Amino acid sequence: MADVKEKGKGFLAEFKEFALKGNVMDMAVGVIIGGAFGNIVTALTEDFINPLIACIGGAEVQGQLKLGNTGQALNWGHFITAVINFLIMAFCIFLMVKAVNKVTSLGKKKEEEKPAEPPKEEVLLTEIRDLLKEKK
């Protein structure tokens, strides 16, 4: 019985260590924000883009294709909505990654632009050389 409790405590300690690592917490926050962002994109697509497409092209985005007398139908309107949602989401993620890469590269350029100070030995040797030149 004591052996089972020991294993249970070890398992819980291991799970706690795993769950509290920074990467897992960052991933959890990303999933939650991604879900909320997905809802925003879906609302944008359904409430703004679909009516515009229906208005401009005269196409019904909420369309169905009935399959004979079986009562079954293909909901192609939902499929088009899902494709539009995906494209909007992919475009937004592309813009965010591009912005993050640009900010990151700006930080790297600033670091690279700073001239590296020469080692102290080199500075001292240069001063000694200059002093010797002055004496001649």
Q: What is the pLDDT of residue 2?
A: 58
- Domain-wise residue ranges, the chain: 2-135
Of 14, 87, 74, 1, the residue nearest 44 (C-alpha): 87
Q: Say how far apart CA 9 and CA 64 lie, in whole Å.
A: 56
**Architecture in CATH for domain 2-135:** Orthogonal Bundle (1.10)
Average confidence (pLDDT) over 45-52? 78
Q: Would the pLDDT of 26 be above 70? A: yes
Say whether pLDDT at 38 is over 70.
yes
CB 84 within 8 Å of CB 52: no
Query: What is the arithmetic mean of pLDDT over 79-102?
Result: 82
Q: What is the mean pLDDT of residues 80-97?
A: 81
Residue 64 pLDDT exceeds 80 = no
Average pLDDT, the chain: 77
Residue with tokens 């632009």: 113
Range name among 10-14, 45-49, 106-110 with the lowest pLDDT average: 106-110
The yes-or-no verdict on residue 55 having pLDDT over 70 is: yes
* Contact by Cβ (8 Å): 73, 67: yes
* Confidence at 131, pLDDT banded by 50, 70, 90: confident
Residue 27 token pair: 């991933």
